[in-house]
Amino acid sequence: MKVLIPFIRLFSRQWLMMSVGLLLTIITLMAGIGLLSLSGWFLSATAVAGLTIVTAQSFNFFTPAGGVRFLSIARTASRYGERLATHEATFKLLTELRVWAWRKLLPLSAKNLQGLRRGDMLNRLVADIDTLDHLYLRLLTPMAASLLMTGFLYLFLAWFDAKLALSLCLFLVAVWLVMPLLFYRLGHAPSRTMLETKRHYRVQLLDMLQGQAELSLFGANDRFRQKLNDAQTELFRSQSAMVNITALSQAMLILSTGSALIMMLYLAAQGVGDAVPPGPMFALMVFATMACVEMMMPIAGAFQHLSGCVLAATRINEITEQEADIQFVADTGLRAKSGALQIEDIHFGYRDDQHVLQGLSLEIKAGQKVALLGPTGCGKSSLLALITREWQAQQGHIKLDGLPLSDYSERGLRDAITVISQRIYLFAGTLRENLVLALPVIEDEKRTAHDARLIDVLQRVGLGALLTGDKPLDVWIGEGGRQLSGGEQRRIGVARALLRDAPLLLLDEPTEGLDKRTEREILSLLFEFAKDKTLLMISHRLTAMAKMDHIHLLGQGKIIASGTHQSLIEDSAEYQALYQRLA
């Protein structure tokens, strides 16, 4: 249960609305019990009063009738207010939980998250956080309300007969304590199985949807569909087991409330207070006992919600309680000016026993244009990940403008670097929304000038054909840029880079997938843009190598040859072989 403590502390931020919801829940239960008790007494008292003309004429019909009407209206109004208050508190709590989870998640590095699949991460951030709303809405508030209401019920019934009130309330407290614990034990394993099978099914479904193109091309749809069906069958089986336990708990609750009713029928029949025989007070006690069903109903499902909340909290804490592998200092205003890089004796591997880079050292002076070439897996992209601090080297240092990367805040480092990666991610939105990511916050009065700049950049990268209509930047590009070709998506990545004024430009296969002519155009544009900047490009191709100040050839995690394009052709057998293969 300790795993729930951090989330309960978060709930304290919404204590006012939560308290209002709890208060209205108690008022609703009080009105319900009062309504049924008064109705039972009123009907019995009316029947007794009607036995003779004298008692019938002296009986006050109007006050109890007014009380019934008042309690009916009060119960309806409080129930409506309770629904509004508890759901409003729940939505605010979910907002708090999501913001809190994202603040914990964002500082984590790729190493912290490398063991998680995307489907599993999505499930934790969406489904598991949604599950935690049960902690307030279906667990804390109903259980607290039923326990407090048991105390109020004792005070109400003790006014008429303390022994009967004590007997009933002790029985209810015993049910309140024993049933959730008993069925939590019985339902612990099935509830965990149900949540795990639901997670597995969602992961399988997401994998199948994301890989639909490849599955169709290779004819593997049937196999993956069978896996999905197997996961669905397991989910249904676990849900069935959980439903059986839930049904048993509800049956036990009905049996318990029925037993309480029989007990009160027996005890109240012997007299209520000083009234022997009990008369109408007998009906009041019995109907009050019948009304207890409403306040005890949450107990039947409490064990299921508790098990789900504990598992969801455990899965979320596995992420949020991690210590970030890479720590950034507070922002002191330090910013890089030239983009000069010094890479000293870098040893790095995604696993401690297998290094991708082995003693790599490299210096890039301010304003230089440097290329890294080499086969797949030699460590080129890994080096860029170290420069951007997506990963941390096991040994060695990287300096930017003569200072270690660890001296820069996250904002300072991001402001110093522009990256064009192999994979360009486009958001489901308009052209404008996908470009302004590279710009600072735009004020409304400056929006026109910014729009003109965005249009100019799109035309420079060859995307002028996308600018159509009265509002050319409001063109919808679809989920992940589906309405664009691969080349157009990559050009938007280049356009983003042209909008940033960072001293260091990192290019990771910037023209991958483009034809030769387009590749030359894009590289020419990038070199023009980076004429006063430091540029580091990794590539499998030799296009624009003649424009580089230095070219370094990597192999087995080390630099095996360095020089200009011409000197490497003359002196390096590896570069000559690469040139002959690609030329």
Segment holding 25, helix H or strand E: helix 15-49
Cβ atoms of 361 and 345 closer than 8 Å: yes
Residue 404 backbone dihedrals phi, psi, to 5 degrees:
-60, 145
Hey, what are 341's tokens? 């890089």
Question: CATH 1.20.1560.10 spans which residues of the chain?
Answer: 2-320
Closest listed residue to residue 61, CA positions, set 74, 43, 75: 43
The pLDDT score that the predictor gives to residue 582 is: 66
Question: CATH 3.40.50.300 spans which residues of the chain?
Answer: 341-582
- The three-state DSSP-derived secondary structure of 293-324 is HHHHCHHHHHHHHHHHHHHHHHHHHHHHCCCC
The pLDDT score that the predictor gives to residue 78 is: 93
**What is d(CA 403, CA 340) in angstroms, rounded to the nearest whole number?**
10
The pLDDT score that the predictor gives to residue 168 is: 92
CATH superfamily name and code, 2-320? ABC transporter type 1, transmembrane domain (1.20.1560.10)
Cβ atoms of 331 and 412 closer than 8 Å: yes
Hey, what are 504's tokens? 């260091």
The pLDDT score that the predictor gives to residue 464 is: 85
Phi-psi region of 271 (alpha: psi -120 to 50; beta: other; left: phi over 0): left
Q: Is the dihedral angle over the CA atoms 406, 339, 380, 550 positive or is it negative?
A: negative
In the chain, the amino acid numbered 386 is L
Is 3.40.50.300 the CATH classification of the domain at 341-582? yes
- The three-state DSSP-derived secondary structure of 377-389 is CCCHHHHHHHHCC
State the DSSP string of 58-92: H---HHHHHHHHHHHHHHHHHHHHHHHHHHHHHHH
The pLDDT score that the predictor gives to residue 447 is: 54
**What is d(CA 331, CA 372) in angstroms, rounded to the nearest whole number?**
31
**What is d(CA 302, CA 282) in angstroms, rounded to the nearest whole number?**
32
pTM: 0.73
Q: Is the dihedral angle over the CA atoms 52, 55, 57, 62 positive or is it negative?
A: negative
Burial class (CB in 10 A: 0-12, 13-18, 19+), 193: middle
Residues paired with 538 in a beta bridge: 372, 508
Closest listed residue to residue 190, CA positions, set 230, 229, 234: 234
In the chain, the amino acid numbered 174 is A
Cβ atoms of 141 and 86 closer than 8 Å: yes
Residues in the chain: 583
**What is d(CA 82, CA 79) in angstroms, rounded to the nearest whole number?**
5
Helix %, strand %, coil % of the chain (to 5): 65, 10, 25
> For every one of its 583 residues, what pLDDT tens digit does the chain have, with 9 covering 90 and above?
677 877 778 777 888 888 898 899 999 999 999 898 888 888 888 887 777 776 677 777 888 889 889 999 999 999 999 999 988 888 888 888 888 888 888 888 877 777 777 777 777 888 788 888 778 877 888 888 889 999 999 999 898 888 999 999 999 999 988 888 888 888 878 888 887 888 888 888 888 887 888 888 888 888 889 999 999 999 999 889 888 888 888 899 899 999 999 999 988 888 887 766 677 888 888 888 998 888 888 887 777 777 778 888 888 888 888 888 888 888 888 888 989 999 999 999 887 777 888 888 899 999 999 999 888 778 888 899 899 998 888 889 999 999 999 999 988 999 899 998 878 888 888 888 888 888 775 544 445 567 888 888 888 888 888 888 778 888 888 777 778 887 888 888 889 988 888 899 999 888 777 778 888 888 888 888 888 899 999 887 788 888 899 999 888 788 888 888 888 888 888 888 877 776 6
